[in-house]
A and B are shown apart, each in its own frame.
Chain A
Amino acid sequence: DGGITQSPKYLFRKEGQNVTLSCEQNLNHDAMYWYRQDPGQGLRLIYYSQIVNDFQKGDIAEGYSVSREKKESFPLTVTSAQKNPTAFYLCASTGDRLYGYTFGSGTRLTVV
């Protein structure tokens, strides 16, 4: 079955560390997205990519970086510059925005 796989499900980061969250899709979708969800805040867009080797900043890109070397993969790195990284991170993709976004099951990142 086609879908989006996010890994790991839970991730713990020490202060000052960079961590990378994985997002892989086998839906043949061109566009991929990273959202962050905090309690009471809703989903906020971090980065998005509409095509391989191209990506744009969303509303809260500071302290994050991405790459899009393959159509299937859109990893997100949370750098040490992100001062409050504890959150639930969601990856999504779409082939046609009229058919909605498909989301992964999320990665919960906690700073320890």
Chain B
Amino acid sequence: SQKIEQNSEALNIQEGKTATLTCNYTNYSPAYLQWYRQDPGRGPVFLLLIRENEKEKRKERLKVTFDTTLKQSLFHITASQPADSATYLCALFSGAGSYQLTFGKGTKLSVIP
């Protein structure tokens, strides 16, 4: 069966350090992978999409990598700040042409001042 795993339920890091979150998937052949941020009691907010032919994508302090051989995406936040504390979700479409987006359970990031 298809599965998306975000390896850490929670991650604590010191302010100023780089946070690295992992998303692994099985039985998908995704053309795209997305990352979202969710704050408590709020809906997720779209951050980045990376295509299968893109090794890396950047947006300000965010960097996402996508390795279709390892079936893994890494999400990095450089120079982390307490305001980056949130749950981060990765998501994949169920198949080519699909509009069904399936989410991982998320990693709760806490940046400690």
Interface on A for B, CB 8 Å cutoff? 4, 31, 33, 35, 40-43, 45, 48, 50, 58, 88, 90, 92, 94, 97-106, 108
Interface string of B32-56 (1 = CB under 8 A from A): 1010100001111111010000000
Kindly identify which residue among A48, A99, A104 contacts B43, using a CB–CB cutoff of 8 Å.
A104
| Minimum C-beta distance from A39 to chain B (A) | 10
CB contact between A42 and one of B42, B49, B103 (< 8 Å): that residue: B103
0/1 per residue, B71-113, Cβ < 8 Å to A?
A: 0000000000000000001000100000111111110000000
* A102 touches which of B34, B41, B46, B99 (Cβ 8 Å): B46
Q: B99 touching A43 by the CB < 8 A rule?
A: no
Query: B residues engaging A (CB < 8 A)?
Result: 32, 34, 36, 41-47, 49, 89, 93, 99-106
The answer to whether A103 and B104 touch across the interface, beta carbons within 8 angstroms, is: no
Main SS at interface, chain B? strand
Least CB distance from A24 to B in Å reads 14
Cα distance A50–B49 when bound, in Å?
21
Nearest first, the 8 A-B pairs at minimum CB distance are A100-B46, A103-B43, A42-B105, A43-B103, A90-B43, A103-B44, A42-B103, A106-B43
- Check if B41 sits within 8 Å of A58, measured CB to CB: no
Closest-by-CB residue of A relative to B101 is: A101
Complex CA–CA separation, A77 to B103 (angstroms): 23
15 contacts between A and B (CB under 8 A): A33-B101, A40-B105, A45-B100, A48-B99, A50-B99, A58-B100, A88-B41, A90-B43, A90-B44, A97-B32, A100-B34, A100-B36, A100-B46, A100-B47, A104-B43
